Structure formats: structure tokens, C-alpha cells
Amino acid sequence: MASQVSMGAMMTCTFGVAPSTLVVLPKNKVLAEGPPAANIMDHIPIVNIPPFGMCNSMANPMVAAATAAALGALTPMPCIPVTSAPWVTGAPTVLLGNMPALDNLSKCLCNWGGAIAFTTAGTIKTMIP
């Protein structure tokens, strides 16, 4: 069973080197066990999805340039998430702010090829059917 995601949920990126925590602004006016609850539109880079330390994706132009300058040795560069699409799929039967609620099974894709997923939901008791 899926859990509702709220502010402080831990995330990882397949090309990031460190975990990050989701930031949810209280615009939906719904709290889940204290902190604001998230919906699928909480995918804005830096605002909702902070950096994951360093990026290892060769699709990232900064990593590609640094790797070329190092004569082909993979050179990670600072992560700057570029998430242009919302989280997929969310919970279509539960709406927050007229959008599906975000559950811990959802994924968000970075334009540099990374898949962002949750390791913890930020809630313990709030389950989504």
C-alpha cells in the first residue's frame, strides 16, 4: 500500500551522489501528520526538488564538458535538477489542490536522464488506497 508524501520525504536520483529532501509549500492547504502534503505538481527544481550533491550523468552538459576537459575521465559536477514534467503517477483517486496526491511509489524524471524516487514518504500512518 502506498503512503502519502509530505514535506521532508527523502529522495534519491539514479545519477546523484547524495539523497535530498522534498520541499512542499503549503499552497494546497492540506497537512499530512503535521507537514504539508504533496501533489504531483510539486516537481519544481530547487523549489521542491533540491540538488542531489553531484551529478554523474553524461547527458548533463556540465558533466560532459568537465569529462571532455579531463580527457574522458568521468568528472561529476554539481547537481542542478531539471524536472520539466510532474511526478508519475500519483494517486488518481485522491486529489489535493485539484491534482492527484503524491505517493511514495511515484517517480519524477530529470532531463539529464536521472530517475528520482522516494526512500521515505515523510508520513508513517497516512496510507493512500
Burial of residue 34, with CB atoms counted within 10 A of its CB: 0-12 exposed, 13-18 middle, 19 or more buried: exposed
Host domain of residue 8: 1-53+82-121
* Residue 70 in domain: no
Q: pLDDT tier at 111 (50, 70, 90 boundaries)?
A: very high
* Residue 91 in domain: yes
pTM reported for the whole predicted model: 0.92
Q: What is the DSSP letter of 60?
A: S
> What pLDDT is recorded for position 28?
86
* Residue 96 in domain: yes
* Residue 76 in domain: no
* Residue 74 in domain: no
Task: Say how many domains are in the chain.
Answer: 1
Q: What is the CATH number of the domain that holds 100?
A: 2.60.200
* Residue 32 in domain: yes
* Residue 58 in domain: no
Contact between 121 and 8 (Cβ < 8 Å): no
* Residue 59 in domain: no
Contact between 87 and 108 (Cβ < 8 Å): yes
Name every residue whose Cβ is closer than 8 Å to that of residue 40 and which is 6 or more positions away in sequence: 86, 87, 88, 89, 90, 99, 100, 101, 102, 106
> What pLDDT is recorded for position 82?
97
Name every residue whose Cβ is closer than 8 Å to that of residue 56 and which is 6 or more positions away in sequence: 15, 16, 17, 63, 74, 76
Q: pLDDT tier at 125 (50, 70, 90 boundaries)?
A: confident
